[in-house]
């Protein structure tokens, strides 16, 4: 009996110590840069834009992301870095995310995390890493604008 109790106790300890299984949440972000507006405050060495976009497909289908993007161009705008913050509002709750990354004429890639602030409803305990991948960045029919699309991927570390 002691052997069984020891094995059962060890299994419980190991299960408690194991990291939570990750779950991937993925949705598409697509917009035309013509919807971007100057943010109320601008960084001294760059520019800040705001806009809203409705996410499509995947686990966040129909959610709205309210975005603030700080862009820091380099080498006459041929490349740069960015700091990106979004409040994602869904029918069953909300959360905030922050990413940073780099861009050039081929698009951008960013990574970050879910903020501990602004979580509510089904997302009240949401924790995880965030990536912006699979970027398409092409000139649009509206002169001087671009059609941008990418996958917003959240590697959720809790359920």
Q: What is the pLDDT of residues 12-50, one digit of tens each?
A: 433 444 445 568 999 999 999 999 999 999 999 999 999
Per DSSP, the three-state class of 144 is: coil
Residue 31, token pair as written in the block: 């917009």
Q: How confident is the model at residue 7 (pLDDT cuts 50, 70, 90)?
A: very low
Least trusted range by pLDDT, from 1-15, 72-86, 91-105: 1-15
Average of per-residue pLDDT across 107-111: 92
Q: How far apart are CA 48 and CA 35, in angstroms?
A: 13
Instruction: Find out whether 146 and 138 touch, Cβ atoms under 8 Å.
Output: yes
Residue 134, token pair as written in the block: 């699979």
User: Whole-prediction pTM value?
Assistant: 0.83
Q: How far apart are CA 11 and CA 7, in angstroms?
A: 6
What does DSSP assign to residue 18? Answer: S
From residue 38, give the alpha-carbon distance in Å to each of 25, 56, 116.
30, 25, 27
Q: What is the pLDDT of residue 14?
A: 37
Q: Is the pLDDT of residue 107 over 80?
A: yes
Instruction: Find out whether 146 and 33 touch, Cβ atoms under 8 Å.
Output: yes
Percent of all residues in the chain with a pLDDT value above 90, rounded to a whole number: 75
Other beta carbons within 10 Å of 53: 19
């Amino acid at each position: 009996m002691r052997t069984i109790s020891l094995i059962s106790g060890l299994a419980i300890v190991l299960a408690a110590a194991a990291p939570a299984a990750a779950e991937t949440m993925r949705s598409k972000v697509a917009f035309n840069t013509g919807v971007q507006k100057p943010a109320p405050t601008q960084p001294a060495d760059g520019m800040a834009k705001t806009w809203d976009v409705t996410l499509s497909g995947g686990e966040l289908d129909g959610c709205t992301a309210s975005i603030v993007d700080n862009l820091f161009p380099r080498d006459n705008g041929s490349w740069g870095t960015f700091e990106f913050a979004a409040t994602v509002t869904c029918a069953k709750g909300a959360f905030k995310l922050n990413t940073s990354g780099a861009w050039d004429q081929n698009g951008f890639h960013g990574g970050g995390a879910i903020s501990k602030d602004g979580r509510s409803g089904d997302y009240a305990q949401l924790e995880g890493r965030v990536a912006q991948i699979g970027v398409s960045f092409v000139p649009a029919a509206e002169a001087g604008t671009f059609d941008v699309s990418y996958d917003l991927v959240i590697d959720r570390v809790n359920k």
